[in-house]
Amino acid sequence: MKKITAVVKPFRVDEVKEALKGAGVAGMTVSEVQGFGRQAGHTEVYRGAEYTVDFVPKVKFEVIVDDAEVQGIVDAIVTSAKTGKIGDGKIWVTSVDELIRIRTGELGTDAI
């Protein structure tokens, strides 16, 4: 099992969600997050005073999938989240040791 984490532009959320559903994921967790990469922050101006805002709003998707599905899902996210402009975000894949469905106690891939 792998966990795929993707940090994407907020206005791509619907596209990424639909692409993930189309790729067959059974569920996902979404959070609003802030951070910066190469895009860095931006400047805001209040009554002539400039404020540097380092952290840019992004949305983080987390899905847990079977090893065999990883490549297809990563491709779906890349395709749906990509604008070609700086700040499109990142995807990373990590191993998951164990997964438990709380309601039934099912373990491993049965709980996906």
**Chain residues in the site for another protein (CB under 8 A):** 44-48, 51-53
* CA angle (9 as vertex; 96, 40 as ends), nearest 5: 100
Residue 46 beta carbon to another protein: minimum distance, rounded to whole angstroms: 6
Taking the least distance from each CB to another protein, the nearer of 45 and 102 is 45
Cα separations (Å) of 21 from 26, 28, 36, 40?
A: 7, 9, 28, 31
> What DSSP assignment string belongs to 2-45?
EEEEEEE-GGGHHHHHHHHHHTT----EEEEEEE-STT--EEEE
Is the Cβ of residue 40 or residue 107 nearer to another protein in the bound state? 40
CB of 59 to another protein, least distance (A): 17
Closer residue to another protein in complex, CB, 46/95? 46
- In angstroms, give the least distance from the CB of 83 to another protein: 24
